[in-house]
Structures are given as structure tokens and as C-alpha cells.
């Protein structure tokens, strides 16, 4: 993958992740972690080669068919992309509204999900009034409200303390236990070491699988 006529940011990437797996993607800044997630989320197409999702070749799929595939993927963006004029409830419900669901159909589910991520008492709060960890959990709630088959998270613990990062990680573990494939791009080596999960390490755009270690005590 390359942007325009620039150098390749990803080179000779070849991987297959089984349904229901949990992987970390690591690497230094500029190694290509966000670009790899963009390929999976279909926000970009590879310069060469192919991408298959859910058993389908999506590389040359018409743009009109991509929204249906994207609705099966949840994304926690690095900059969160919360809408400041919408409440926590409405931010979370936005993917369902876009998909055409009525408020009466999802009101209870959204409230239950916000309670699950610890925001049950902040449902009407606007994002600017939330603390950093609350914003992170709100972004996670929005990403999983439509029960995605794949969850992608780009540096989800980058702006929170250790205790909050572990709490966020436990949310991902629970989602994975329920069947969601989880892929987390992170610099948080402590979190990776504690998890014992498989690691995909990017070094100058090339992928180097790393054997999982036993979880830290």
C-alpha cells in the first residue's frame, strides 16, 4: 500500500486472521499500523494485492456495496471522532440511526450498553463535558452498538492511565468472548505483555508475527 506516488507504507503483507480471534498490532510511529486498519475497514484500497473479508474479495467491490460490509465492522478511531453536539446516548445510537433503525427499537439496548461501559449516569452528557477515559468508553460503545463481527481499535488506551487502560482492555476481552474478532493497534507494550495475546509487529511496513507470551502476573 502506498499513498499517491510516495513509497510503500505496507510491503508484502500476507495474513489470515480466524473468526473470533484477538490480535494486537504493534510497531513504532509510522510503521503502518493505522494504514493496515484502514485496509481492513475499507477506508483505503491496496495498491496491489487483494483483501478478503467475510469470505468475499472486497478489493474491487463497487463502492455502492461497501457500506453493507462496513456495517459488520466497528472502529474505535485514534482521535475518537465523537460529535460534540450530540449526547453520549445519541453518539452511541448514531450507527443504528444511519442504518435506519427507529429510536423505539434501540433505546433500551443503547442505555444498557452505556451502563455496561460505565456511562449509565452520563447518557445525556455532551462529549466536551466527559473525562478522557469516559470519551474512550463512549467511542467503544458507539463502535460495538451494532454488534460488529470485527472490532478495530487504533490506540484505544493512548490517552488514559494504567487502571483505565486495563478496564478498556477487559471490555474488549468480553466482546471477544461473545464472538467478535478484535484487532488492536497500540504502543502500549505493558498491555500487550499482560494480555498474552498474539502480536502482529510492523517494522517499516513489513509484518513480523511475534509468538505470544504468557500473561504477566
Query: What is the C-alpha to C-alpha distance for residues 58 and 102, in angstroms, rounded to an integer?
Result: 30
Q: What phi-psi label fits residue 120: left (phi over 0), alpha (psi between -120 and 50 degrees) or beta?
A: alpha
C-alpha 93: how far from its chain's center? 17
Which DSSP category does 91 fall into?
Answer: H
Q: Per-domain residue ranges for the chain?
A: 22-52+62-210
11-to-2, 30, 50, 205 alpha-carbon distances in Å? 9, 13, 13, 6
pLDDT for residue 83 = 95
Q: 3 with 175: CB under 8 angstroms?
A: no
Question: What's the half-sphere exposure (Cβ side, CA atoms, 13 Å) at 191?
Answer: 26
Q: How much is the average pLDDT of 48-57?
A: 92
pTM, whole model, 2 decimals? 0.86
Contacting residues for 167 by C-beta, under 8 A, at least 6 apart: 118, 133
* pLDDT at residue 209 in the model: 66
Q: Are 115 and 146 in contact (CB under 8 A)?
A: no
How sure is the predictor about 30, in pLDDT bands with cuts at 50, 70 and 90?
Answer: confident
Confidence of residue 1 (pLDDT cuts 50, 70, 90): very high
Residue 212's pLDDT band (cuts 50, 70, 90): low
**DSSP collapsed to 3 states, 104-128:** HHHHHHHHHHHHHCCCCCCCCCCHH
Domain 22-52+62-210 falls under CATH 3.40.50.300: yes
pLDDT at position 162 is 81
Task: Report the alpha-carbon distance of residue 43 to residue 56 in Å, rounded.
Answer: 16
The pLDDT tens digits for 94-143 are 999 988 899 999 999 999 999 988 899 999 999 999 998 889 889 989 99
Q: What is the mean pLDDT of the chain?
A: 89
**Mean pLDDT of the 141-170 span:** 86
pLDDT of residue 114: 93
Amino acid at each position: 500500500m502506498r499513498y499517491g506516488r510516495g513509497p510503500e507504507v505496507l510491503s508484502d503483507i500476507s495474513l489470515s486472521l480466524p473468526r473470533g480471534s484477538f490480535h494486537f498490532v504493534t510497531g513504532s510511529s509510522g510503521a503502518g499500523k493505522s494504514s493496515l486498519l484502514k485496509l481492513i475497514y475499507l477506508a483505503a484500497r491496496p495498491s496491489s494485492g487483494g483483501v478478503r473479508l467475510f469470505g468475499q474479495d472486497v478489493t474491487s467491490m463497487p463502492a455502492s456495496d461497501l457500506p453493507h460490509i462496513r456495517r459488520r465492522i466497528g472502529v474505535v478511531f485514534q482521535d475518537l471522532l465523537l460529535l460534540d453536539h450530540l449526547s453520549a446516548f445519541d453518539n452511541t445510537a448514531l450507527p443504528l440511526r444511519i442504518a435506519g433503525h427507529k429510536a423505539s427499537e434501540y433505546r433500551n439496548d443503547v442505555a444498557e450498553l452505556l451502563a455496561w461501559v460505565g456511562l449509565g449516569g452520563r447518557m445525556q452528557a455532551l462529549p466536551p463535558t466527559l473525562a478522557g477515559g469516559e470519551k474512550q468508553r463512549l467511542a467503544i460503545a458507539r463502535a460495538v452498538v451494532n454488534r460488529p463481527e470485527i472490532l478495530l481499535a487504533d490506540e484505544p488506551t493512548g490517552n488514559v492511565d494504567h487502571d483505565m487502560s486495563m478496564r478498556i482492555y477487559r471490555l474488549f476481552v468480553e466482546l471477544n468472548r461473545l464472538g467478535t474478532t478484535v484487532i488492536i493497534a497500540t504502543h502500549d507494550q505493558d498491555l500487550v505483555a499482560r494480555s498474552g495475546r498474539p502480536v502482529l509487529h510492523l517494522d517499516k511496513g513489513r509484518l513480523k508475527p511475534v509468538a505470544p507470551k504468557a500473561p504477566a502476573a
